[in-house]
Amino acid sequence: MTLWFVFALMTVAAVFAVLWPLSRSRPSGTGGSETVVYKDQLAEIDRDLASGIIAAAEADAARVEISRRLLAAADEGQREAAPQANLKLRRVAAILALIGLPLVAATLYLRLGAPQLGDFPLAGRSLVADASQPLVNLVAQVEAHLEKNPTDGRGWTVLAPVLSRLGRYDDAVRAYRNAINYAGDSAERRADLGEALMGTAGGVVTADAKAEFERAIALNADDPKGNYFLGLAAEQDGRKTDAAAIWQAMLAKAPADAPWRPLVQAALVRVGGVAAPALPDSAMAAAKDMNDTDRSAMIRGMVDRLATRLKQNGDDVEGWLRLVRAYLVMGERDKAMSALSDARQAVANDAERLRQLNEGLKNLGLDG
Amino acid sequence: MIAEAGHYALVLALGLALIQSTVPLLGARWRDAALMNVARSTALAQLLFVAMSFIALVTLHVTSDFSVVNVYENSHSLKPLIYKITGVWGNHEGSMLLWVSILALFGGLVAAFGNNLPLSLRAHVLAVQAWVAGAFYLFILMTSNPFLRIANPPIEGRDLNPILQDIGLAVHPPMLYLGYVGFSISFSFAVAALLEGRIDAAWARWVRPWTLMAWIFLTLGIAMGSYWAYYELGWGGWWFWDPVENASLMPWLAGTALLHSALVMEKRNALKVWTILLSILTFSLSLLGTFLVRSGVLTSVHAFATDPARGVFILLILCVFIGGSLSLFAWRASALKQGGLFAPISREGALVLNNLFLTVACATVLTGTLYPMAYEVLSSDKISVGAPFFQLTFGPVFVALLLAVPFGPLLAWKRGDLLGATQRLLAAGIAALIAIALVWAWTYGGATLAPLAIGLAVFVVMGALCDVAERIGLFRMPLSISLRRARGLPRAAWGTMFAHAGLGIALIGIVCETTGNTEYIGAMRPGDVVPIAGYQLKLDGLTPRPGPNFSETIAQFIVKRDGATVSTMTPSKRSFATRGMSTTEAALLTRGASQLYISLGDATADGAIAVRIYHKPLVLLIWWGPVLMAFGGLLSLSDRRLRVGAPKPAKAPRALQPAE
Amino acid sequence: MTRKQRRLTLICGALAVLAIAAGLVLNALRDSIVFFSTPSMVAEKHIGPGKRFRLGGLVQPGSLKRGENLAVSFSVADGSATLPVAYTGILPDLFREGQGVVAEGALDASGTFRADNVLAKHDETYMPKEVADALKKQGHWKDDYGAKPSASAAPQPAQGTMR
């Protein structure tokens, strides 16, 4: 409520700034004029002459010139119409200020601002650190710790996946490399490193990333992540049959309750391998549930942010798809569906975007 | 609430700018004093609201309110307080808010202290000022709004970039902005004059203090930026002809020309059309500077915000303001009355020459800066235009300008006596020749151009002194009379002397730094001694030291001269392991105007460390020169005749004191 | 002199200075501009030894070797070609393997790029703009590098579901 009161006060002040000069019948300053400047210049010549800076002849010439300008300026001043009051115009200006100004300000502000949000200064928040965001703080602590003990392999191992989650892929890559250096090589770390490398390249399995996955496989031929991404590399290279072969081999060896099973099956469908048409959503959601609560809370924060951003700017088809996908992964089908309809609305005016959206939805297994 | 109040204040400022840009013009058209006076109160109110907005953003940064996107992206709770504050304008959105704050500040100053302006001129000036402000408020609100919020605020900010935590980087952008934006006033005056269709000598008197103020800030801003690059970037260079630097140099050149042509206009009522054009061009170049930095059109060391969408908006602003004002100029300029006559050899003639050289120099810089862009558009090849280009083009033009500088003040108005001026400059000429001979003998076999350049610099400095000596009749008259005259000499004359001498002093620094520089680059082990320029530098040891969020290797150098220890120097290298970043902290030892400069490279496997040591003779003169120039400008500004708002000496106490 | 003559003198003087300046500019543009190339452009265009140009690309990971007396060598790659670079001196703070770099110098007879200046200039996304542009043009660039990390917070479908 105070906020609106403050807004009102500010608006009144702004309106007052316009009305005040209009209300005064006799304006205070009628302003200076050129004659003052020229008189000043004449006085200055006298001063200069007195202190001997300019010669008498020069001074005379200058005086003549300035006097001429002075006369011209005085003439002009007389010829000019004297200021007059134009009441009709003043009334228009007053109305403009009284109605136009608040109207423009309110319209623009309501479009841009977020009056429902209060302040969140850090001082007031760290006491009641909300459970949804502890990771970012932890990261800072762990980073500080590692600054002092750069050979702490366990620290790097803990930090690396978090950095990856935060989207700091460059840092994650370094952290994984350090973890491998100081905490020992393992198939999992190699595969994670490869995944972080992919992150730096925007999701493309680069040669570097592929090399890491291959190293992971060399250490443990059954490492699921390494195998999966090698398959993805093959798919990205256009070798769909190779990809299918890799993934089929994975499925054949995998235990029936492996959490990643549905994902590989979905990928297999994508490259046209043997179909295993179980809809992956629920299984994926189940897999997610096995993760620690921290992580899911953090993902939720990200998803919420994405949703807010899309509410402000709905042009981003990729973003909408990611949002829908994220809700599906989190097992919130209702939200996914409402996001979907929001997305349709947001891009309804743009045929090209709508087509992209529908195509993307098809890939997600949602035809409409 | 703070964030939203700041946001709303900015929106209100836009609303006020819209009113200020129309109502006063109507008032001037129908000669209604009250309507014209609306400009004044709205300008002050605008200043109030923009200041509120800016203070709100600073508060948000200080309290680390990460619900604001701008704070979240550019701050961090662990930043020291000073960098939390300077971080406000270390990013695009914040720096644009600073830009409009300064714009509103200047508008407010004109409103508050423009009592000596005719009512309609003031109304016009403030209206034009409001056009510019309105466009930039819109730009900020639409494309770079610093008050956007995050519904679910993160607990920690993203930026702790160590490279940006530097006090020099924090201070010089506001200085530059004060300069850039200050020229908006002369622009507004010029457009107002075109709108009114009337311009005369008094106009120049009114516009000069504002131009001078902007020029002082720009001079200091450029000097500070250059010094920052010198000590921070770690390779001892102080000017890189980088597009961002050029962007600040161009308005400076045009602004310097404007200062001089406005002088002709004030004294002689001549060069009116040209002065108007220069006012427009100077601010256009300032806008272009903003555009070059903001849009990332040009690759640059400083590139910190690159976003084409914003670029298009700024390009639009550029087109409207530059194109609009130039069209207005083309349409109305011919209607302006012709001014006074003068012979080619005269003070006016000299100032025209000055303007010619300065604008040509400015044009060469503009060519060199924009050519790569044009070339890329036309042939899709990327090229870069570096220092050699500017040395070959800007150099000769500036040498010609410097040769002419001492003559100008010695020539009389209207019709000058070149022979007489030459005679009076004899002392300066002789001093220059002696300097050439001395330097040549001393650096025998060295660069041939260096002695000549030093001679030129001495000529400029001595010429400035000669001018004042001549005016107060030093050595011609008894000392007591000279002293009395010196006291009576207008401060503007002293200002001219300091500014011109500063030019020469900067040149001495530049020549000494470029030709007399000694450097050593190599790997050193603890205990190694390097002799350089008469000093012996011994690497005493390398000490690791943990910092708050980095680890630091400090190298201790003992500096000796003739066996006696002079000082110790401790350059260091900081590494931020989790971010994989390292920064170099150079060590500087000032001896007189010369400096020893050490920066560290990487440590090699066998315990040695790569070291770069420079001895830079008289290098500080490069920055003392501009400081002297700015001081000269300040003296001129304090001259009673130029004071804003003090039409009569009796009202002097009400005068605007030069801003610190 | 009449008013007309005076103005003529002024205009002639101005034109003379402008002409000289234009001459200087044209002359300098012929001699002192430096082209920008990526390693594959170097191969395509057969840039001869001795011609100065700016080489841009990514520092090939693992290629950085330090020799005696601050000599360094590394390779610059742009996805389809690499070029060895030799440099003597101190590399800038921002120089890193796998990141963008711009070096100025010329090729020697053996096809090594002798750099006399190495700039690792970039903004917070670690990519010199000209390098990014060149890589994009050659199609070695997938996502826009400037994309905010929030855009990759929920990456490819596969990522994040495998743990």
Neighbours of B44 (CB within 10 A): 18
Put simply, whether A283 touches C (Cβ < 8 Å) is no
Calculate how close chain B gets to A368, using CA atoms only, in Å: 30
Put simply, whether B598 touches A (Cβ < 8 Å) is no
Closest CA to B614 of B504, B502, B508, B512: B512
Asked whether residue B288 falls in the same domain as residue B372, the answer is yes
Question: How many domains is chain A partitioned into structurally?
Answer: 4
Asked whether residue B590 falls in the same domain as residue B610, the answer is yes
Residues in C closer than 8 angstroms to A232, CB to CB, are: 158
Q: Are B43 and B100 in contact (CB under 8 A)?
A: no
First to last CA, chain C: 92
Whole-number pLDDT of residue B143: 87
Asked whether residue A9 falls in the same domain as residue A108, the answer is yes
Asked whether residue B509 falls in the same domain as residue B534, the answer is no
Contact between chains at C6 and B344 (C-beta distance less than 8 A): yes
Asked whether residue B484 falls in the same domain as residue B602, the answer is no
Asked whether residue A50 falls in the same domain as residue A104, the answer is no
Put simply, whether C6 touches B (Cβ < 8 Å) is yes
Nearest CA in chain B to C3: B341
Strand partners, B518: B615
Looking at beta carbons, which pairs linking B553-559 to residues 24 or more positions away fall under 8 Å?
A: B553/B600, B553/B603, B553/B609, B555/B598, B555/B600, B555/B609, B555/B611, B557/B587, B557/B598, B559/B535, B559/B589, B559/B596
Contact between chains at B367 and C3 (C-beta distance less than 8 A): no
Put simply, whether C8 touches A (Cβ < 8 Å) is no
Q: What is the Cα–Cα distance from B202 to A69, expressed in whole angstroms?
A: 9
Asked whether residue B425 falls in the same domain as residue B489, the answer is yes
Contact between chains at B523 and C25 (C-beta distance less than 8 A): no
Asked whether residue A215 falls in the same domain as residue A309, the answer is no
Asked whether residue A103 falls in the same domain as residue A141, the answer is no
Q: What is the Cα–Cα distance from A307 to A301, expressed in whole angstroms?
A: 10
Q: Which domain holds residue B242?
A: 192-385
Asked whether residue A236 falls in the same domain as residue A312, the answer is no
Q: Would A117 be classed as within a structural domain?
A: no
Tracing tokens 């404007």 back to the chain, one arrives at B258
Whole-number pLDDT of residue C153: 30
Q: Which residues contact C140 (CB under 8 A, 6 or more apart)?
A: C78, C79, C80
Q: Which amino acid is at B175?
A: M
Q: B with C: how many residue pairs have Cβ under 8 Å apart?
A: 117
Q: What is the Cα–Cα distance from A174 to A197, expressed in whole angstroms?
A: 10
Whole-number pLDDT of residue A368: 43
Q: Which of B93, B126, B150 is the last residue of a domain?
A: B150
Contacts of B among chains (3+ CB pairs under 8 A): A, C
Asked whether residue B250 falls in the same domain as residue B347, the answer is yes
Tracing tokens 């990333």 back to the chain, one arrives at A209
Q: Where are the CATH 2.40.50.140 domain residues in chain C?
A: 35-142
The string of DSSP codes covering A280-348 is HHHHHHHHHHTS-HHHHHHHHHHHHHHHHHHHH-TT-HHHHHHHHHHHHHTT-HHHHHHHHHHHHHHTT
Whole-number pLDDT of residue B182: 94
- Stretches where chain B sits below pLDDT 50 are 298-306, 644-660
Put simply, whether C124 touches A (Cβ < 8 Å) is no
Contact between chains at B392 and C124 (C-beta distance less than 8 A): no
Put simply, whether C150 touches A (Cβ < 8 Å) is yes
Q: Which of B98, B120, B150 is the last residue of a domain?
A: B150
Task: Pull the structure tokens for residue B400.
Answer: 């010609």
Closest CA to B422 of B434, B404, B437: B404
Put simply, whether B381 touches C (Cβ < 8 Å) is yes
Asked whether residue A158 falls in the same domain as residue A188, the answer is yes
Q: For every one of its 368 residues, what pLDDT tens digit does chain A have, with 9 covering 90 and above?
A: 788 999 999 999 999 999 988 887 665 555 677 888 888 888 888 887 887 777 788 888 888 888 888 888 888 777 766 667 778 888 888 988 899 999 999 999 999 988 888 888 877 665 444 444 556 666 777 777 787 777 788 888 888 888 887 777 888 888 888 888 888 888 888 888 888 888 777 677 777 888 888 888 888 888 888 888 888 888 877 788 888 888 888 888 877 777 777 778 777 777 776 544 443 444 444 444 444 555 556 567 677 777 777 777 777 777 777 777 777 766 677 777 778 777 777 777 777 777 777 777 766 666 54
Asked whether residue A186 falls in the same domain as residue A167, the answer is yes
Residues in A closer than 8 angstroms to C147, CB to CB, are: 202
Put simply, whether A362 touches C (Cβ < 8 Å) is no
Contact between chains at B356 and C25 (C-beta distance less than 8 A): no
Q: Are B306 and C147 in contact (CB under 8 A)?
A: no
Residues in A closer than 8 angstroms to B30, CB to CB, are: 84, 86, 89
Residues in C closer than 8 angstroms to A202, CB to CB, are: 142-143, 147, 152
For residue C126, pLDDT over 50 is answered with: no
Sign of the dihedral through C-alpha B579, B144, B3, A314: negative
Contact between chains at B344 and C13 (C-beta distance less than 8 A): yes
Q: Are B334 and B254 in contact (CB under 8 A)?
A: no
Q: Which residues contact B368 (CB under 8 A, 6 or more apart)?
A: B241, B246, B385, B389, B390, B393, B394, C25
Asked whether residue A224 falls in the same domain as residue A301, the answer is no
Looking at beta carbons, which pairs linking B163-166 to residues 24 or more positions away fall under 8 Å?
A: B163/B581, B163/B583, B164/B83, B164/B87, B164/B90, B165/B79, B165/B80, B165/B83, B166/B228, B166/B232
Q: Which amino acid is at B492?
A: A
Q: How far is CA B274 from CA B190, B338, B648, in A?
A: 11, 11, 29
Calculate how close chain C gets to B34, using CA atoms only, in Å: 44
Tracing tokens 């009576």 back to the chain, one arrives at B488
Residues in B closer than 8 angstroms to C24, CB to CB, are: 364, 392-393, 396-397
Put simply, whether B574 touches A (Cβ < 8 Å) is no
Tracing tokens 């490193």 back to the chain, one arrives at A193
Calculate how close chain C gets to A224, using CA atoms only, in Å: 8
Q: Would B572 be classed as within a structural domain?
A: yes
Contact between chains at B343 and C93 (C-beta distance less than 8 A): no
Contact between chains at A146 and B549 (C-beta distance less than 8 A): no
Whole-number pLDDT of residue C135: 57
The string of DSSP codes covering B72-87 is HHH--TTS-HHHHHHG
Q: What is the Cα–Cα distance from B291 to B354, expressed in whole angstroms?
A: 28
DSSP annotation of B43 reads H
Q: Would B653 be classed as within a structural domain?
A: no
Whole-number pLDDT of residue C142: 38
Contacts of C among chains (3+ CB pairs under 8 A): A, B
Nearest CA in chain B to A120: B65
Residues 141-170 of B with CB under 8 A from C: 161
Task: Give the DSSP H or E segment for A122.
Answer: helix A122-125
Q: What is the Cα–Cα distance from A6 to A13, expressed in whole angstroms?
A: 11
Residue in B49, B50, B68, B155 to test binding to A, most A beta-carbons within 10 Å:
B155
- Residue A335's domain is classified under what CATH number? 1.25.40
Calculate how close chain C gets to B257, using CA atoms only, in Å: 15
Choose the closest CB to C9 out of B296, B344, B393: B344
Choose the closest CB to A208 out of C61, C157, C163: C61
Asked whether residue B96 falls in the same domain as residue B240, the answer is no
Asked whether residue A266 falls in the same domain as residue A179, the answer is yes
Q: Which amino acid is at B654?
A: R
Tracing tokens 């309750």 back to the chain, one arrives at A257
Neighbours of A16 (CB within 10 A): 13
Q: Would A120 be classed as within a structural domain?
A: no
Put simply, whether B407 touches A (Cβ < 8 Å) is no
Question: How many domains is chain B partitioned into structurally?
Answer: 4
Choose the closest CB to B383 out of C6, C35, C119: C35
Domain C35-142 top-level CATH class:
mainly beta
Whole-number pLDDT of residue A292: 52
Put simply, whether A170 touches C (Cβ < 8 Å) is yes
Q: Would B208 be classed as within a structural domain?
A: yes
Q: What is the Cα–Cα distance from B271 to A73, expressed in whole angstroms?
A: 19
Neighbours of B513 (CB within 10 A): 24
Closest CA to B64 of A125, A142, A204: A125
Q: Would B596 be classed as within a structural domain?
A: yes
Q: Which domain holds residue A327?
A: 293-363
Residue in A165, A213, A310, A317 to test binding to C, most C beta-carbons within 10 Å:
A165
Q: What is the Cα–Cα distance from A329 to A333, expressed in whole angstroms?
A: 9
B659: left (phi > 0), else alpha (psi -120 to 50), else beta?
A: beta
Q: Which residues contact A60 (CB under 8 A, 6 or more apart)?
A: none
Q: Are B73 and A53 in contact (CB under 8 A)?
A: no
State the number of CA atoms in the 13 A half-sphere of A154 facing the CB. 0
Choose the closest CB to C158 out of A228, A306, A319: A228
Lowest mean per-residue pLDDT among A308-312, B163-167, C11-15, C31-35: B163-167
Closest CA to B73 of B151, B138, B2, B150: B150
pLDDT band for C137, please (50, 70, 90 cuts).
Answer: low
Q: Would B170 be classed as within a structural domain?
A: no
Q: Are C47 and C53 in contact (CB under 8 A)?
A: yes
Put simply, whether C23 touches A (Cβ < 8 Å) is no
Calculate how close chain C gets to B473, using CA atoms only, in Å: 33
Contact between chains at A29 and B648 (C-beta distance less than 8 A): no
pLDDT, tens digit, for every residue of C48-84?
888 888 888 888 888 888 877 778 899 988 878 889 9
Nearest CA in chain A to B5: A7
* Complex ipTM: 0.84
- Residue A222's domain is classified under what CATH number? 1.25.40.10
Choose the closest CB to B30 out of A53, A62, A89: A89
Q: Which amino acid is at C107?
A: L
